[in-house]
Amino acid sequence: MTLHPRYIPDVPEETVKVAKAAFRKGNRYMQMRDELGTLFSDEQFMDLFPQVGQLAESPWRLALVTVMQFAENLTDR
């Protein structure tokens, strides 16, 4: 698999409104994004992928889910 870095867009304004309405006091993940910004990017994982091959899914997504699983004390099973 190969990796072509993709830009991580900002959270859409409508999503921000819905999240703030649903979680008036926020939650740890909203706070994490607000305070730290983007935690991972495709560029951090470029050396792990060959230059040719089938396009890979963005590894930053898996890394972020792994952080969330750890924070919630969840297993990967």
Q: What's the total number of domains in the chain?
A: 1
Give the pLDDT confidence of 4-28 residue by residue, as tens digits: 888 888 899 999 999 999 999 999 9
Which of 45, 39, 48, 35 is CA-nearest to residue 70?
Answer: 39
**Pairwise CA distance, residues 28 & 67, whole Å:** 12
Give the pLDDT confidence of 23-75 residue by residue, as tens digits: 999 999 999 999 999 999 999 999 999 988 888 888 999 999 999 999 999 98
Residue 24 falls within a domain, yes or no?
yes
Residue 50 falls within a domain, yes or no?
yes
Beta partners for 55? 2
**Pairwise CA distance, residues 28 & 39, whole Å:** 14
| Residue whose structure tokens are 């969330």 | 68
Which domain covers residue 45, as residue numbers?
13-71
pTM value > 0.95 = no
User: Residue 56 class from Cβ within 10 Å (0-12 exposed, 13-18 middle, 19+ buried)?
Assistant: middle
